[in-house]
Structure 1
Amino acid sequence: MPAFTIWRHPRPRGAAGRCIGGRTDLPVDPRKAKRLAHRIRAHARRHGLPREVVTSPLARAADVGRWLRRWGFLWRVDATLAEMDFGAWDGRPWASIPAPEFERWMADFCGFDFDGGEPLARLLDRAAAWQPCCALVVGHGGWINARQWRGGVPAPASWPPPPAYGRPTSIPSAA
């Protein structure tokens, strides 16, 4: 499997204090999407990479792909890169989620399906199975963490914080 670099999308508008996953398609400031696209384009030049990018279908990632397409990149969209689906929680303020529900998730961190969403175990499988079609990717914090996860069944205390918005993560080739 080839190596690739994945950037977390720019900070979306309206996400503060909310559970944001694959069902909530928030916009990003166009200037931030363009700024990230500039950084990806410079990275491609610096490393002699083909002008190709694949993104999640969600606007916060796809908007970056649209900029790159304007500048001559081949842009693909892959639903496999979408953020975890938080089901009935998706888009809700964290403060509105009842404590017993949150505790249910913590007790079954990997298997809890958020009342119709996607368990973390499924995201881990989806991210691990994904085969890159090019070296440049724009996606989501949860997906990036899932792709990099090494260490058995995750627990709440061991799950890493998401990477910063707009930052790259290099994923090496599988051995």
Structure 2
Amino acid sequence: MTTNSSYKNIYLIRHPKTEAPDGVCYGNSDVFPGESSLMEATEKVRSKLNEVDLDACYSSPLSRCRLLAERLVGAKNVDTNELLREIDFASWEMKPWSEIPQEQQKEWGDDFINCKIHGGENFFDVQKRIVEFWEQVTRTATREILVVSHAGLLRALLAHLLDASPRKIFAIEVDYGDVIQVKWSNKSYYKIKFL
């Protein structure tokens, strides 16, 4: 297989830990990170990027991503993109799991790939958004790109890139502040590395 000498590095970053109360369902809600977790994630990402000279930075508009992106590259250099938002749990957003009926949770848990019992998005809706973003960003002329988003979206993208089962992709752990590098030449040739 031949490689394209003109490749780009795309660094996928997960946001810091939030201040959401324990036991609460949230996705699309704008939950802020704590200052200490924001600082910790910033240092973690910087150490893994090793002073890469970035050409572009894209972020989910949600504060837990945007604030990290701004710490990394400066507010004026962050391009927020709605396609990078976390899954929308709709009627479940910011509800304690204990208040969501068990039968609804079971139905969703049995088939979260397709289920929309909460009235929001399912796995394929999220994957469609992140793949649309991916196709846009890989067509740009920029070479060193930072993307700050959410674990759900990053896993949905990895499932697409690896042609992996959506259910099995959740076996991949993506912690707060983790960095995944995709060295991209074209749709037929790319490498994925956890930094």
* 1:113 correspondence with 2:124: no
The 1-side partners of 2:62 and 2:117 are apart by 20
The 2-side partners of 1:73 and 1:40 are apart by 19
* 1:14 correspondence with 2:17: no
Letter in 1 for 2:179: P
Letter in 2 for 1:7: I
* 1:148 correspondence with 2:158: yes
Contact map agreement 1:86 1:114 (CA 8 A) in 2: no
Partner of 2:88: 85
Contact map agreement 2:17 2:38 (CA 8 A) in 1: no
More strand, by proportion: 2
Please list every run of 5 or more consecutive structure 1 residues that lacks an aligned counterpart in the other structure: none
Partner of 2:42: 37
The 1-side partners of 2:63 and 2:113 are apart by 27
Identify which of 161, 164, 175 aligns with 2:175: 164
Q: Which residues of 2 match residues 129-140 of structure 1 at below 5 A?
A: 129-131=132-134, 132=137, 135-140=145-150
Contact map agreement 1:87 1:114 (CA 8 A) in 2: no
- Over 3 Å counting, the alpha-carbon distance change for 1:136 and 1:93 in structure 2 is same
Identify which of 121, 125, 130 aligns with 1:122: 125
Please list every run of 5 or more consecutive structure 2 residues that lacks an aligned counterpart in the other structure: 1-6, 189-195
The 2-side partners of 1:50 and 1:163 are apart by 22
- Over 3 Å counting, the alpha-carbon distance change for 1:77 and 1:96 in structure 2 is same
The 2-side partners of 1:42 and 1:53 are apart by 17
Q: Secondary structure at the match of 2:13?
A: strand
- Over 3 Å counting, the alpha-carbon distance change for 1:50 and 1:158 in structure 2 is closer
The 2-side partners of 1:103 and 1:35 are apart by 35
Contact map agreement 2:41 2:176 (CA 8 A) in 1: no
The 2-side partners of 1:102 and 1:151 are apart by 27
- Aligned-residue Cα RMSD (Å) equals 2.6
The 2-side partners of 1:168 and 1:78 are apart by 19
> Normalising to structure 1: TM-score of the pair?
0.81
- Over 3 Å counting, the alpha-carbon distance change for 1:123 and 1:25 in structure 2 is same
The 1-side partners of 2:49 and 2:173 are apart by 24
- Over 3 Å counting, the alpha-carbon distance change for 1:100 and 1:58 in structure 2 is same
> Normalising to structure 2: TM-score of the pair?
0.74
- How far did residue 38 of structure 1 move? 4.3
Letter in 2 for 1:12: T
The 2-side partners of 1:111 and 1:44 are apart by 36
| CA deviation profile, 1:37-86 (whole Å, cap 9, x unmatched) | 3444555553x42253211100111111232354x871111111111111
Q: Please identify, of 54-63 and 92-101, the stretch whose mean Cα deviation from structure 2 is larger.
A: 92-101
The 2-side partners of 1:84 and 1:162 are apart by 18
